[in-house]
Structure 1
């Protein structure tokens, strides 16, 4: 007898999406640089489907110094300019520039003694928010993502609107938006309940 595995409907049956859904999406992330990378990648998605960015993630990591902010800010301008010709990423000048701008904002926070992970997780009081979502009641924004977007923009980050911030929170486990009948829901709840920075 075949066992039916229930997943969130958005991942469909595409192997890349299924792998991302099962192994990455919604699992709490503590590391500042990983959070920075995910914020930048979510920004690259604006106007596109996430699968497009997911399939280009390795190219982004190679092109943008594994999203190391310290290396990004010292990248020579000629190398930055050449990225518009990199077929492995989304060739949008504003989106490319945003990653460098975000790296500068990240480092400005660090210079104030503020860790990026602590800054982001403070919006959810330092712990994941666990919901019991059904298929049709998952929001695109909420008051927390609104506040995060406003704060990030004030600090000089780009491509950080409320929708992008909510998608980030979903991706890095600040909220559990797996639906309750998804096979990942219970295990992610367990991870969230023991989470600490």
Structure 2
């Protein structure tokens, strides 16, 4: 099997993520919130760092149950900032809780983040097959559009580069390299 460059010669965690998650379309709202949070946490760090702490994040953030995270209070903030098992960036933690509260409002209004994000691509994944990693953009007009819309809707820490990675993680964008033989969509 030939993989994207970032997953070649990687550890088992990265290889598994590449082979079974990254670029795989999801319609699961809990998973969407989890990946939103993990992508936010990755800003300025490596994805390897985030993946190695994923189980700790799940424990610290109530398995990304958006209703529970939305109810986190000042004591939870202190607990999270002091949790050595996660990335202890106070702003990222605060914005995760804020975003959970925004999502709860959406859910009460009958909206989901997952359906919203997929609506930008007509509910069909955008399949790109870039020749090299250097060709894969850090952001695109789509991620810029989604980022702007999310910020206008009150979400935080959703810049176009974070959104680009998030859309890839959700399988909305399938940016496996042309040489990659991992096939999520049966093409």
TM-score range, shorter chain: over 0.9
The answer to whether structure 1 residue 180 and structure 2 residue 173 are counterparts is: no
DSSP 3-state at the match of 1:125 = coil
User: How do 1:15-164 and structure 2 match up within 5 A?
Assistant: 15=11, 16-135=13-132, 136-164=134-162
- Structure possessing the higher radius of gyration over alpha carbons: 1
Residue segments in structure 1 that go unaligned for 5+ positions in a row? none
Q: Quick one: which of 2, 7, 10 aligns to 1:6?
A: 2
Q: Is the 8 A contact 1:130 1:189 kept in 2?
A: no
Aligned counterparts of 1:98 and 1:76: Cα–Cα separation in 2: 13
Q: CA RMSD in A?
A: 1.3
Distance 1:124 1:65 in 2: 30
TM superposition score normalised by structure 2: 0.94
